[in-house]
Amino acid sequence: MKNEAGNNTISEILSEPQVWRKCLDELERTKTLETIRRKFPDEVEYVFVGCGSSYYLAQAAAATWSLITRSSARALPASEIMLFPKLLPEPCQPVLISRSGFTSEVLEAAEYLERRRNMRTLAVTCGSNTPLEKLAASTICLPAADERSTVMTRSYTSMLLALQSLAGLRAGDTGFLKALRELPEKAEASLPGVNRTIQSLVDSRTFADYVFLGHGPFYGVAQEAMLKVKEMSCSYAQCFHTLEFRHGPKSIVSPETLISFFLSDSGSEAETGVLAEVKDLGGTTLAIADRADPTARRAADYLIELSLDIPEVARAAAMIVPGQLLGFYTGVRKGLNPDEPRNLTRVVVLGGDKDGGLPGAAT
């Protein structure tokens, strides 16, 4: 395949349903999650930790954990643990998320938690034999989900699915676990239509800036969509909880701003109310839903319906894919190469510690 701009990234995005199936099958075959389930406590607060995309993944994982296991969970950037360690609740169960397993802040957090706070940590990564795996008490490795690209796409969704599966296992929620197992096949069926809709949206016009809105498990998804558009298209993008958008940020609404709504079931009426309001204010709207109600249909300039018909929390991984595609096609339209995003490297290694970083890591 000739080396067109973004070849690696688009093929990794379009491979997601197959990679999800591969990762879930491997976790099932090795019984990794059952082993992890027995090793870690139930009754403490889980704290999901990461950087960049992996922090936004942590947000979606923490919301999933709270909703599915009914026990409290939160997300923190790894740098917060480094700089404000007292923010960490005591006791808690830290879960450290890093595609590479080389990111300095995550390694520093792992070292601090394991050695200074004597906490056993669970790590989730796509790398093999990484410094993170050496530091953590247990590690979930998903090598099939790793990417050649700098930006995280299938690694975000696959690591999220692994953590959602662990939550379902912990809660004994067989319906949720079944929905996650069905997701790859259902998402594979809707992906070509989603891809075409986003391509035609980007082909139809460009936007001055982007806003992404979501609640619950879809807030971390909206955050990640914001980052994908920033990383791959160097566009200005913001993210808010949907109803928070009313409290000031809506002053920026204009036809040149594309405002994307990740619509949930639980918050559908309230979220669709904001969608209708933004449309009335003259904003350009993209609604991403499983199935859109008549109000959403009327207010959406562009509409993605995933039609997965599975419980909303199980849809989180599939909901980010339109955001990944929006960032990709917008970048290509702007003449950029999403495989080589401006100013970015695959791994952020602070202080130039060459041993700790992959080739090309920032210092």
DSSP states of 166-182 = HHHHHHT-HHHHHHHHH
- Least CB distance to ligand F1P at residue 125 (A): 8
Instruction: Return the residue of 346, 349, 356, 357 that touches ligand F1P, per CB under 6 A.
Output: 346
CB count, 10 Å around CB of 298? 12
The answer to the question of residue 229 lying near ligand F1P (CB under 6 A) is no
Choose between 99 and 170: whose C-beta lies nearer to ligand F1P: 99
* Backbone Cα Rg of the chain: 19
Instruction: Return the residue of 6, 33, 49, 52 that touches ligand F1P, per CB under 6 A.
Output: 52
The answer to the question of residue 190 lying near ligand F1P (CB under 6 A) is no
DSSP 338: T
The answer to the question of residue 223 lying near ligand F1P (CB under 6 A) is no
Choose between 105 and 305: whose C-beta lies nearer to ligand F1P: 105
- From 45-53, 110-118, 182-190, 242-250, give the range in contact with ligand F1P by CB under 6 A: 45-53
- Least CB distance to ligand F1P at residue 149 (A): 9
Burial of 86 (0-12, 13-18, 19+ CB in 10 A): exposed
- From 10-18, 21-29, 82-90, 145-153, give the range in contact with ligand F1P by CB under 6 A: 145-153
The answer to the question of residue 131 lying near ligand F1P (CB under 6 A) is no
Residue nearest to ligand F1P (CB): 52
Cβ pair 99, 155 in contact under 8 A: yes
Only one residue has tokens 């090793």, namely 39
Reading the block at residue 82, the tokens are 């480094």
CB count, 10 Å around CB of 45? 17
Instruction: Return the residue of 32, 53, 93, 157 that touches ligand F1P, per CB under 6 A.
Output: 53
Which residues does 308 contact at the CB level (< 8 Å), separation at least 6? 183, 186, 187, 190, 290, 314, 315, 318
Q: What residues between 58 and 117 interact with ligand F1P by CB under 6 A?
A: 98-100, 103, 106
Burial of 342 (0-12, 13-18, 19+ CB in 10 A): exposed
The answer to the question of residue 228 lying near ligand F1P (CB under 6 A) is no
- Least CB distance to ligand F1P at residue 101 (A): 7
Site of interaction with ligand F1P (CB under 6 A): 51-54, 98-100, 103, 106, 150-152, 231, 344, 346-348
